[in-house]
Structure 1
Amino acid sequence: MSCRPAAELQEEYIISAGQEFVFNDTASTKLFYLSLNELLFDPVPQSCDYVEIVNRSSYPVDLAEISICNRNEQGVLGSPRCLSRDRYLLNPGDYCVLTSDVESLRRGFSLDSGSHCLIIKSMPSMPNDKACVVLLDRDGNIIDECSYTKYMHHCLISDREGIALEKIHPDLPSGETKSWLSASADAAYGTPGRINSQYRSLEACDTAEGFFAEQDWLSPYGDSRQKQLVLRYAFSDQRIANVGIYNRSGAFLGSLAQNALLGARGFFVWQGVDNKGEVPDFGSYLIHIEHFNVEGDCKKQNIVCRILP
């Protein structure tokens, strides 16, 4: 495991390096070479918060030129904390865990021997209910940003302590709630320094166009990633979709999308609850989909799925 203390006296380090941070409060896709990939903001007792980042670029990134901070409710960025005092290269595709105490982190999670970890003694505040985490380059430009809340966790999780939020794929926008899912139980509710338990490829699962279910069942009370059903889509034209869930009697249970503008490919997630937030009885359910384009081409699809114990 590669573990190195970051600058403990952040302000002195910035001054001695002759750098003055002038915040550029506009994130650019060109700057999205590092991705916020996993967040733990409600750790178990005796453990600590962590932020995992991943290098999604094709070149090594020197983390000595990267800082982390938070953003308050008035939209003001806090004091940046430099990730490393010394040169520290993160290669393409590699993960790095940012935390204040790696030994405390070990009490809650297993860390691979080859994991990158940077110790930042004065990590930005990460409250249990909500906050905003921001990555900055040496010029103060925003590389990536995520405003999280505890309600981004699976709706059936009542005790969120010790459960990390994982990005489904590093290329997804960190600012969108649907990019994140609760880490799975079989991964000890967190995967710092390695591929996420909720990782999914963004490639279409079939060359045909339309909607496709990753699997035809889900188990909301289970302990695996199949707590939810992922409904993928792929289209060559821009379409609008309505997606509803119905029981065997034809009664409407809830909606996954209402006049949703689709991209070339993407997905919706059903967490196995109705519009009242309750899990229906075990059995078969119908996902009814209608999608159309601006030329009036309208198509319908029905996908049958099952809720298992």
Structure 2
Amino acid sequence: MKTSTVYLSCLLAIVLLFAIAVPSNSKHLPRSKTLSDALFKHQFIFGAASYGKSFTNEVENPKIYLDHPTKQPNRGKIQSNRAFSPSFYQKNSRLRSRIESELTTTESLIEKAKNDSIPLQIVRAALRSESTVEITFSEPVDPAYAIVSSLYTINGVAPEAVDWGNDASKITLHLRAPLTSTSIDINFTDLPTAKKGIPYSNHQTLKLLRMADIDFKDLVINEVMAAPKKDNPLPYAEYVEIINVSDNPVELGGFYLKDAKKAVKLPPYTIQPEEYLVLVDEDDAADFMGYGKVLPLSSWPGYTNSSGKVLICDENKVVIDSLSYSNDSYGSSSKANEGYSLEVTNPFLSCDQSLFLQASSSPKKGTPGTENAVFNITPDMMGPRLTAVTVQDPTSILAIFNEPLSPSALSAGWILNNNLNVLNVSFAQGSSNEILLTLNQELKEKTAYQIAVKDLYDCTGNTVDREYNSASFQLPSSAAKGELILNELLSNPRSGTPKFVEIYNHSSKYIDLSGWKLANIDDGVIDNRKVIASTPKIIAPFDYLVVTTDIAELNQQYPKGITEKWAEISALPSYPISGGAVILLSPDEELVERLDYTDDMQHPLIQNPKGISLERSSPEHEGNDPENWHSAAASAGYATPGYKNSQHLTLEQSGFGINVQPKVFLPEAAGEQPFTTISYELADAGYLGTLRIFGTDGRLVMTICQNELWGTKGFYTWNGTNTTGRKVRPGYYILLSEIIHPDGQVMHQKQTIVVGSKLR
């Protein structure tokens, strides 16, 4: 390459660097008025005598020194000895064209910077040593320019060198002399951002922070509004409130507010001891005027309504505090959907506060910028309780407690039956109340195990509650067809009461319901799936699980129900009052049970079926047979959520031949026993059966079935109505059974049924 060409290339680079020069002490100033002014305003000197290392690509990059002619640091310089004059520029049309093109581009960037609403600024200045300052910008800067020392001055003096590490928004300035003041004047000129490439200039006076480590929980996340609602007293916006519980002011500039996916850098702000500070998106900041100290953020993590995690981190993204929340944190699904904030009861505890979150009790449904409505510093005097033990795999179990535990919990004593011993103990990842135990041998199916713990403490020093220090657990089995069934349905609840679906485990297995789903039918297709449980949920042999949307409200209406066997989810599939389809799906999407119900399946003498559930009579009989479903008894409160159905029948009770249960019933006393069950049990399948009911005068009242092919077991019901659907008179009636054997043999049987009536 010719010397002149090299010279012109270097010259072009020099000119382009100065083309974007903007005077300091303002955000965006116009460039020089004339092109020659832009070309000859300064002299640039490039040095490559020392090198720094970039931690992003692990290659060495030269530090570039841009010096004013009057400053001559003791480094080797590469300078051009060839004079460069305006006449040379005027004569060289090709060079002139290229320079003017670049200047036009630069000018457009500067104009764009003028219109940019979020200028580059320094959010944190921290003293690493007496002559080393770490600078944190509000956004990543261009690394090629970030290490140019002459772009910066501190107290009017350019730094000796600049380092750039693995964070594109941070640089380290090596000063020429130690700093003695507690605040500094920082100036940077024409520093482009990495994302937009816009050059910025700024002058700031900042408090100089000492690099003392902030302790865990010095800053506490005190309140979270993750699901705001329109028309509530508070602004319709998410917010996070923090409090400084340390004894010292904390500079937040360069710290981060995070969720599981996004981290937002905080701008400069010094939070004083015991000061509340509300963090909000800058677009919502005006709405929080009058709610105390507010710090607007240029962007927002965005927290999901149903569950999430909020973190506050230092400038190195080390967690200072975190909170995990879910719909359960609100205490009820109604509060989870009505725009309440979640508040910490005692921010001065050093424990994880996630399990102590409560929906705000304030009439405004939140207390941004002030003391929480649920604030309570009453000392915790209750010991931790073992609430559940779940099987993770055949050789490990998870013990779950109701509150955060002390780290000493890893040394607690564990006692198990069936020759089991604990080999290893650790906290579950990200949890302070769940302990993972590794066992010495594999667990077996259909076996109940017991575990107890001693010498275990919570984070305030309370020992484990002796009444709640043990639990049972089982290795779950896979469910075969007919072992998990639909057992009860409330599709027409009273006003304000949630609907529910009850599932029954008709087997001797322990079955895990995690991943199982309820669904419905829409246009002939299975739709609207709702997961029953996303974590292990064991249903014991011959036991029940009620799935609803509000346990507290359901318990108000049906206090006899066993709430320990109820599970709350955010929403059920749509089950209309008039009729629909209830679908039970396995985790593999296999259709396990289907119930096509209508409101006509209620007892015909019930005038208002609202609040009365449909119960399955027999777990052995076909689940989608309307004859197998009846109205719940009044004596049971019109529903039996979590325990044996009031209209329950097992075919083992019937005995061989034809059996009637009960022989006396009251059709008009809806709920007492408004029907009778006619069951059969035969030695072989293949019989044809006919069941007719006659009055004592010999007239036919009702044909229950005629020449139906029977299996070995089955049943029918009669609700005390005739062939026209009208209620029969109280009195005696005759059941005539006709059974035809496959070989033609005919058997007849007569039985008496009494239809009663209540005394008035």
Other structure's SS at 1:54 match: strand
Q: Which AA in structure 2 matches 1:174?
A: G
Match of 1:109 in 2: 558
Report the residue type matching 2:714 in the other structure. Answer: G
Out of 215, 224, 229, the position equivalent to 2:676 is: 229
Q: Distance in 1 between matches of 2:572 and 2:648?
A: 26
Aligned-partner residue type, residue 267 of structure 1: F
Tell me the distance in 1 between the aligned counterparts of 2:740 and 2:608.
40
Partner of 2:411: none
Corresponding residue for residue 256 of structure 1 = 704
Structure 1 CA distance, aligned partners of 2:742 and 2:562? 53
TM-score of the superposed pair, with normalisation by structure 1: 0.86
Task: Tell me how far 1:225 sits from its aligned partner.
Answer: 4.2
2:186 alignment counterpart: none
Q: Partner of 1:220 in structure 2?
A: 667
> Is residue 510–residue 541 contact of structure 2 (8 Å, CA) maintained in 1?
yes
Q: Which residue of 2 aligns with 1:18?
A: none
Q: Is the 8 A contact 2:491 2:499 kept in 1?
A: yes
- 2:643 aligned counterpart, secondary structure: coil
Task: Give, in whole Å, the separation in 2 of the partners of 1:41 and 1:142.
Answer: 21
Residue pairs, 1:1-309, within 5 angstroms: 30-72=480-522, 74-113=523-562, 115-206=564-655, 209-237=656-684, 238-309=686-757
Equivalent pair of 2:614/2:631 in contact (CA under 8 Å): yes
Q: Distance in 2 between matches of 1:210 and 1:64?
A: 42
Displacement of 1:226 in angstroms is 2.5
Shift in Å, 1:142: 1.2
Secondary structure of the 1:105 match is helix
Residue 112 of structure 1 and its aligned partner are, at CA, apart by 4.4
Structure 1 residues 31 and 243: alpha-carbon distance in aligned structure 2, compared to 1, 3 A threshold: closer
Structure 1 CA distance for aligned equivalents of residues 489 and 644 of structure 2: 13
Q: Which has the higher contact order (CA 8 A, sep 6+)?
A: 1
* Consecutive unaligned residues in structure 2, runs of 5 or more: 1-326, 334-478
The answer (yes or no) to whether the contact 1:129–1:149 under 8 Å persists in 2 is yes
Cα-Cα RMSD: 1.9
Over 3 Å counting, the alpha-carbon distance change for 1:114 and 1:151 in structure 2 is closer
The question of whether the paired residues in 1 share the 8 Å contact of 2:562 and 2:643 is answered with: no
Alignment-mate amino acid for residue 231 of structure 1: I
Decide whether the 8 Å contact of 2:620 with 2:650 is kept in 1. no
Looking at structure 2, the residues matched to 151 and 60 of structure 1 have their Cα atoms a distance apart, in angstroms, of 35
The answer on whether the counterparts of 1:216 and 1:306 sit within 8 Å (CA) in structure 2 is yes
Counterpart CA distance in 2 for 1:171 and 1:285 is 28
Report SS of the residue matched to 1:71.
Answer: strand
Q: Letter of the aligned partner of 2:693 in structure 1?
A: I
Measured after TM superposition, the shift of residue 241 of structure 1 is 1.4
SS for the counterpart of 1:78 is strand
| Cα distance in 2, alignment partners of residues 280 and 223 from structure 1 | 15
> Amino acid of the residue matched to residue 279 of structure 1?
K
Query: What's the % identity of the aligned pairs?
Result: 28
1:126 partner SS: coil
TM-score of the superposed pair, with normalisation by structure 2:
0.36
Residue 270 of structure 1: how far off its partner (Å): 0.9
Within 1, Cα distance between the matches of 2:565 and 2:653?
Answer: 31
| Structure 1, unaligned runs of 5 or more | 9-28
For residues 262 and 143 of structure 1, the distance between their equivalents in structure 2, rounded to whole angstroms, comes to: 24
Deviation at 1:248, TM superposition (A): 1.6
Give the Cα–Cα distance (whole angstroms) in 2 for the partners of residues 215 and 58 of structure 1.
Answer: 29
CA distance in 2, matches of 1:288, 1:205: 17
8 A contact 2:651–2:679 mirrored in 1? no
What is the alpha-carbon distance in structure 1 between the residues aligned to residue 517 and residue 562 of structure 2? 25
Post-superposition offset of 1:153: 1.2
Instruction: Give, as a single letter, the amino acid of the residue that structure 2 aligns with 1:278.
Output: R
Deviation readout 1:51-76 (Å, 9 max, x if unpaired): 0001223322222121111112x320
- Asked whether the 8 Å contact 1:284–1:307 carries over to 2, the reply is yes
User: Amino acid of the residue matched to residue 118 of structure 1?
Assistant: A
Per-residue deviation, 1:113:
5.0
Alpha carbons 2:489, 2:615 under 8 Å: kept? yes
Amino acid in the other structure paired with 1:281: R
1:105-153 Cα distance to aligned partner (Å, 9 max, x none): 1222125456321111121011001111111112111121111111111
Paired amino acid for 2:574: S
**Equivalent residues of 2:517, 2:587 under 8 A apart:** yes
Distance verdict in 2 for CA 1:32–1:235, change over 3 Å? closer
Deviation at 1:172, TM superposition (A): 2.6
Q: Which amino acid aligns with 2:644?
A: I
Match of 1:11 in 2: none
Q: Which amino acid aligns with 1:245?
A: I
Task: Note if contact 1:198-1:225 (Cα within 8 Å) is conserved in structure 2.
Answer: no
Give me the whole-angstrom Cα distance separating, in 1, the residues matched to 2:562 and 2:727: 40
| Structure 1 residue 219, shift from structure 2 partner | 0.9
Structure number with bigger Rg: 2
Q: What is the CA-CA distance between 1:198 and the residue it aligns to?
A: 0.7
The structure-2 alpha-carbon separation of the partners of 1:263 and 1:183, relative to structure 1 and needing over 3 Å to count, comes to same
